[in-house]
């Protein structure tokens, strides 16, 4: 279910929103315009999250397979437990 959120805006911003809606604007209502802005902002942030993740992983993604080192995770865990006890 959609929830209402009330927002106070200065007159200048209200006028701007009013120009975006109605017969001359692209949107039928202020709510439609605001939802579209929020969705666009959300999509930008999601893309930024994926871009950040890719940047963190790209060395591994682009690595040549012969650069990989085989390991046994159970042995690493066992060794770490030994060193910490």
Q: What is the pLDDT of residue 85?
A: 78
Q: Where are the domains of the chain?
A: 9-63
Higher pLDDT, 85 or 32: 32
pLDDT (tens digit per residue) in 34-67: 999 999 999 999 999 999 999 999 998 898 988 8
CA 82 from chain centre, in angstroms, equals 40
Closest to 30 measured CA to CA, from 38, 41, 18: 18
């Amino acid at each position: 279910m959609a929830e209402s959120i009330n927002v106070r805006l200065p007159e200048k911003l209200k006028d701007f929103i009013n120009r975006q809606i109605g017969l001359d604007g692209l949107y039928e209502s202020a709510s439609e315009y605001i939802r579209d802005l929020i969705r666009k902002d959300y999509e930008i942030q999601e893309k930024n999250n994926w871009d950040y993740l890719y940047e963190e992983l790209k060395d591994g993604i682009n690595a040549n397979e012969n650069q990989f080192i085989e390991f046994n995770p159970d042995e690493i865990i066992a060794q770490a437990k030994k060193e910490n006890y």
